Amino acid sequence: MVGHAALVLRLSPSTCLRDDKGGDVPLGTKKDLLVLAYLALASPAGVSRSRIAQDCWPGVIVERARASLRTSLHCLRIHLGEQLEADRESVRLSPGSVRVVTDPGGFMPEFTEPWVRVKRARLVLDHKPAPDIHPILPAVDYLAEKNPVSGLKLLQDA
C-alpha cells in the first residue's frame, strides 16, 4: 500500500496511476482505473454504490455491475488501504488521498462510458472563451448528474 497523498491520477493524455516517484501503480484492470477516476472526481461526501455501478458498467445487469464494482473496490483497497472508505451503500476517497492531474485536450481517451464523454466535452467547453460557451451548459450539467446518457445526447445536439 502506498502512503497518504502519494498517489497521482493522471487523466490525460492517457489515464494512469503513479506513485510519488512517478512510477506506475499497476491496477488489476482498466475498469479499476475507471472506478478510481470516478471516485477521485466525485463529491467528497461519496457516491452510492448503485450509481457507480450504473455509470461504470452501463447496460450491465445491476447485480452483475455491483459484483464487478466489489471486485474493483477490492483491488483499489490493496493500493489505497484506509484511504478508500466504503460501507454497504456508498464509497469515497479520503480527502487528499489521490491528486488528480488533467488536461482538457485528452481527458481519459481510452474510455467511452457516457459519464466520461460528458466530462470530456464539459472540460473542452469550460476552456473555450466566454462568448463561445453555449447557454445550454447548466442543463447539460444537471442531466449529466442525473443521467450521463441524456447529458451526452444534449451536448451532441447543441
pLDDT in tens, 118-138: 888 777 666 655 544 555 556
- For the cut 80, the answer to whether the pLDDT of residue 33 exceeds it is yes
Kindly indicate the confidence band of residue 28, based on its pLDDT and cuts at 50, 70 and 90. confident
Mean pLDDT of 128-150: 57
pLDDT in tens, 68-126: 999 999 999 998 899 999 999 999 999 888 989 887 667 888 999 998 888 887 776 66
Q: Considering only residues 152 and 38, tell me which one the structure prediction assigns the higher pLDDT.
A: 38
Contact call for residues 38 and 78 (beta carbons, < 8 A): no
Residue from 150, 67, 63 nearest 115 by CA: 150
CATH number 3.40.50.2300 given to 7-101: no
Cis peptide before 13 (omega within 30 of 0): yes
| DSSP run (H or E) holding 39 | helix 30-41
Mean pLDDT of 37-64: 93
Query: Lowest-confidence range among 13-17, 30-34, 130-134, 151-155?
Result: 130-134
Amino acid at 149: V
In this predicted structure, what is the pLDDT of residue 4?
47
In which residue ranges of the chain is CATH 1.10.10.10 found?
7-101
Q: How far apart are CA 101 and CA 21, in angstroms?
A: 15
Sequence-ordered list of residues with C-beta below 8 angstroms from that of 96, at least 6 positions apart, any chain = 4, 5
pLDDT in tens, 40-51: 999 888 999 999
